[in-house]
Amino acid sequence: MANGYRPEIVQRAFVDFIGSRLHPFWSLTTPKLRLLARYEMSDDLIALQFETNQAFRQQIFKGTDDWKGGQYLDLRVFIDGVYHQRSYSIVGLANQPLWWQDDAVITETAKSKRHAVTIAIKPQGLVSNYLTKQLPLFSIVDTSMPLGDFTLAQAKTSLDHRGPDNQKLNPLLFVAGGSGITPMLGLITQALANGHQVALLHYNRTELPQLQHQWQQLSDIHPTFSYHFIHTDNPTTYLADERYLSAEGLLSLNLPLADTQIFACGSQALSAGLYKAVNEISVLQNIQLRDNIIVENFGNALTDFDGDGNQLLDNALQTESHTVYLRSRQRQFDSDTTLLVAAENASIRLAYGCRQGICQLCRCNKMSGVVKNIQTGKISSDGYESIQTCINIAMTDVVLDI
């Protein structure tokens, strides 16, 4: 008998619907998380540990690996009758204990052998404050599967001249600002396990004794790992006597920068400083470093760079204001920032999720006008196309089909 389509006698969606009424955490198709514990990584960074449900574990196991260092989750949280979606970096790697997991911190439930995932959150904004301060333990939230390409897969390898078929691992430099340190935790652990030489620069406004203790432990175990914590208000921690990222600071690391892959995560100001620094080094040493940088952007600050790596556009928003028309609502507003922020400044609510250009919830159709993507620098055409309001600014008057 030939094999063919065999319809499901009982639809999985129907089983999910009935199962969710019996137990909200149970699902065949929808990945969910249950909050197990909170841990204060610093004064302004909270880690949340979750148990994953069967659907999450089954979808993870379908792949060749668990999540990778540097990836994130989209959480869907129900607050006061409204669903909100936000993106949060995953801390560490699957099935690896984190350094704070001891009897004084982790509950008996968390210490069980259930598959767990941990994210780190800076308590700011509606959803982050709710997750870190109000969401009761053992509450359940919907989640995506691990997402993102800010992983070691982007690290290049070079030929080892000692043998034509051999490859050598390039050194890796991780540059983080503030809560941009969270995706670095898994990345660095994975990089050291793979045998990379690793250096870390972390710029922050407050002390982070727990994290610094973790970096020191890794440094004791791995001689190829070095870290520099720069407290921006403490001159004794500055690198090359510079408060912020600079060419002098990068050169003081004594890394073979031409072969070093640079992973950066932080504010747009951090990215601007990094590009400016590597441009100065490129001119000084006649090497090309700009292509060695991999950036994970977050936040809404606008940054652009000229050919010399100088910042052209920042939070001062030195851009001409244009009018944005919402065709279906018969509303309009002036915009000199991202379309989403400008609408909110005019008390107009648009759909959004991560506000970082990741989740696609803000995507809409542009009927006419020119916009610029602040992450890629791409200028759109003047005609009809699909855009994201959280990462586009108006370069002319714009008509949106909203």
Dihedral of the alpha carbons of 217, 156, 289, 267, in degrees to the nearest 10: -60
> CA 309 to CA 363: how far, in whole Å?
30
Class of the CATH-defined domain 322-400: alpha beta
Average pLDDT over residues 83-105: 72
pLDDT band at 291 (very low <50, low <70, confident <90, very high): confident
Q: What is the CATH number of domain 163-313?
A: 3.40.50.80
Query: Could you write out the DSSP letters of every residue in 165-223?
Result: T-EEEPPEEEEEEGGGGHHHHHHHHHHHHHT--EEEEEEESS--HHHHHHHHHHHHH-T
Among the residue ranges 70-74, 202-206, 237-241, 299-303, the one predicted with the least confidence is: 299-303
Residue 362 DSSP label: T
Over 50: is that where the pLDDT of 106 sits? no
Please write the tens of the pLDDT for every residue from 14-41.
555 565 656 678 777 788 999 999 988 8
Average pLDDT over residues 206-223: 86
Where do the H-state alpha helices sit in 335-375? 339-345
Token look-up 């995506």 returns 144
Query: Could you write out the DSSP letters of every residue in 386-399?
Result: EEETTSEEESS-EE
Q: Where are the domains of the chain?
A: 12-143, 163-313, 322-400
Q: Say which CATH topology domain 12-143 has.
A: Elongation Factor Tu (Ef-tu); domain 3 (2.40.30)
Please write the tens of the pLDDT for every residue from 110-162.
444 457 899 988 887 788 899 999 999 999 999 988 988 889 988 876 534 44
Name the residue type at position 330.
Q
Phi-psi region of 85 (alpha: psi -120 to 50; beta: other; left: phi over 0): beta
The torsion angles phi and psi of 22, rounded to 5 degrees, stand at -80, -40
* Residue of 117, 116, 133, 136 lying closest to 125 (CA atoms): 133
Where do the H-state alpha helices sit in 36-125? 54-62
pLDDT at 131: 94
pLDDT band at 303 (very low <50, low <70, confident <90, very high): very low
pLDDT at 55: 85
Same topology for domains 163-313 and 322-400, yes or no?
no
List residues bridging with 38 in a β-sheet: 48
**Highest mean pLDDT pick, 57-61, 174-178, 320-324:** 174-178
**Highest mean pLDDT pick, 42-46, 247-251, 373-377:** 247-251
Please provide the size of the chain in residues.
Answer: 402
